Amino acid sequence: MAVNKIATCAAGIGALIAAPAFAADIAVKAPPPPPGPVYSWTGWYVGGNIGGGWGNRDVTAVTPNDPGAGSFLTDAPPPAPPSFNVGGVVGGVQVGYNWRFHPNWLLGFETDFDGSGMKGSNTTPNTLNNPGLYFADEHITWFGTARGRLGWLPSQNLLIYGTGGFAYGEIEHSGNWNWAIPGGIGNFGTSINGFSFNCGNEFGGANPCFAGSSRGTETGWTAGGGFEWAFSPNWSVKGEYLFISLANKSLTETAQAICVGCGGVTPASFNVSFSRLDFNMVRVGLNYQFH
């Protein structure tokens, strides 16, 4: 009996001695890693962008400014109004401000200014009465926008937004009207109420009867949307689509030669109206946010 008690006590003492060594052998669980960098979204940012734009244009009306031009248009009626596509590369800079007013929502403002290579042209033949060609072209040299933004944050670093506001841009137009008589040589002249001009291909080629060009800044509106991904505490990339609509433009084309001896010296002219300039734009951008 005494032997059993002694054995039991010895076993208990051995267990107490072995417990610390056993505990030391158990692997201690490592602490979780610190959270990654957080993009705050609230604050000012600047960046750059590049992309492309495309649209379609029409010449919608031709209106004589005087009887001389009216006589010409009666004798050589306008061809079907030319339509043409415009397109090209765009790129520039943007600056804006975001305010994150809710864990999943933000309001913002952005303005941008882009240079543009968007342009297009078309030549339309006229086969009624007297044959000829009408040429029209357009070049959007630069444009800009000032827009509000409303964004939703499905995750900490991803923003999906809608945007809209004011748009403006510089547009160049040019056009000319050739009137050509088969056979190489011929003139068209008119003298009504003191208006007179020459029009023909007296040198064996189709010379411009009327020509003109213009450059001006037009205004309008824009709307679109996009997404933005923050990949570091200060940097983000974005993809964006915008539809831009600018006011239409009228181009004055003037007779290129006065008809000597026809009785008048004032050049005749007419106006050509271009349709409203609507175009689409897709671009990508890189932003740096200040904290």
- DSSP one-letter code for 266: B
Q: What is the 3-state secondary structure (H, E, C) of 181-248?
A: CCCCCCEEEEEECCEEEEEECCCCCCCEEEEEEEEEEEEEEEEEEEEEEECCCCEEEEEEEEEEEECC
Per-residue pLDDT tens over the stretch 65-99? 877 777 777 776 766 667 899 999 999 999 999 99
Q: What's this model's pTM, rounded to 2 decimal places?
A: 0.80
Could you tell me the domains of the chain?
A: 40-289 (2.40.160.20)
Task: Output the pLDDT for position 201.
Answer: 55
What is the pLDDT averaged over residues 138-163? 97
Q: Are 217 and 170 in contact (CB under 8 A)?
A: yes
- pLDDT tops 50 at residue 288: yes
Backbone angles phi, psi at 110, to 5 degrees: -140, 140
User: Regarding predicted confidence, which is higher, 13 or 196?
Assistant: 196
- pLDDT tops 90 at residue 22: no
The mean-pLDDT minimum among 69-83, 173-187, 258-272 falls in 173-187
Instruction: List the structure tokens of 95.
Output: 């600056």
Per-residue pLDDT tens over the stretch 240-256? 999 999 998 889 998 88
Per-residue pLDDT tens over the stretch 84-93? 999 999 999 9
